[in-house]
Amino acid sequence: MYLKDMRTGQSGLVVKISKGHAAERRLFEIGLVPGASVEVVSRHPFHGPLLLQVGNTRVAVGQGIAEAVEVEINSSSGSTP
């Protein structure tokens, strides 16, 4: 599953990032790296950015980044379909 497909309240682990080197470096700087735990705090309407909790930090990422970050959902996550 990709980060863009996660629902508000779901959490998971980053598995892989499929984006250019510059984007991967920026994500590294904010802690969004393979193995990191991430939770979707909120989703803005109309394909807007996602507000994420990564460790002790909240960051907003756009849809372009969110569709390049592959995650494994925690089975104990909130919001199940």
Evaluate if residue 76 carries a pLDDT over 80: no
Q: What is the pLDDT of residue 62?
A: 92
What pTM was computed for the model? 0.82
CATH topology of domain 3-73: SH3 type barrels. (2.30.30)
Question: What separation in angstroms does the CA of 34 have from each of 30, 38, 69?
Answer: 12, 10, 9
Give the Cα separation of 4 and 6 in Å (integer).
6
Beta carbons of 10 and 73 less than 8 angstroms apart: yes
- State pLDDT tens for residues 19-57: 888 888 989 998 999 999 999 999 998 889 999 999 899
Mean pLDDT of the chain: 89
Element (H or E) spanning 25, and its range? Answer: helix 21-29
User: Minimal CA–CA distance to 41: which of 72, 1, 77, 2?
Assistant: 77
